[in-house]
Amino acid sequence: MTTEPMQEAAAAAEETNTAEDRIQALEAELEQLRAQSLIDRADMENQRKRLERDVRNACRFANKQLLGDLLPVFDSLEAALNTAPAEDPLRDGVVLTLRELTRVCGNNGLVEVAPAPGDAFDPEKHNAMSAVETAEVAPGTVFQVFQKGYQLNEQLLRPALVSVAKHD
């Protein structure tokens, strides 16, 4: 008869251990789910921010192709101005056209990269076509500009083509 109460006590103790083990397992699973939930929320927030940045950049650079295609038009109009005689009646029309084109493109984020002779050579914005031995400007500076460059919203669209001064 004494074995039966002992068996019941052992069964009750085993049941208590099993319940405690189950509670611990459920608490551990709950902690894992909380941690995974935080990770998932952080991933969603990062994805949202990345998407917002991509949309912002898409809007800023949506006209990149069009403005890039217009750069030869700028070059042609400037070449026409440089070669047309001052008294040519068409020159005024070219000046007005170039001014309006510059205004419209500028309103859309296009900015000239037009270094002057003596400006420091910037490999981020300038493409050196040649090096010229000269004493007219300091070494490592722009000596001559062959073609203006352009930036679209701080992003280089076309580098300026220049020659760079070097020591005699």
| Number of DSSP helices (H) and strands (E) in the chain, helices first | 3, 6
pLDDT in tens, 16-45: 778 888 999 999 999 999 999 999 999 999
Q: pTM for the whole thing? A: 0.67
CA-based end-to-end distance of the chain: 116
What span, in angstroms and rounded, lies between the C-alpha atoms of 141 and 115? 10
Q: Is the pLDDT of residue 10 over 70?
A: no
The pair of three-digit structure tokens given for residue 13, joined into one six-digit string: 């103790």
What average pLDDT does range 97-120 have in this prediction? Answer: 94
- The pLDDT of residue 4 is above 80: no
CATH superfamily of 65-166: Head domain of nucleotide exchange factor GrpE (2.30.22.10)
pLDDT band of residue 60 (cuts 50, 70, 90) is confident
> How far is the CA of 146 from the CAs of 75, 76, 153, in angstroms?
11, 13, 23
Q: Average model confidence (pLDDT) for the chain?
A: 89
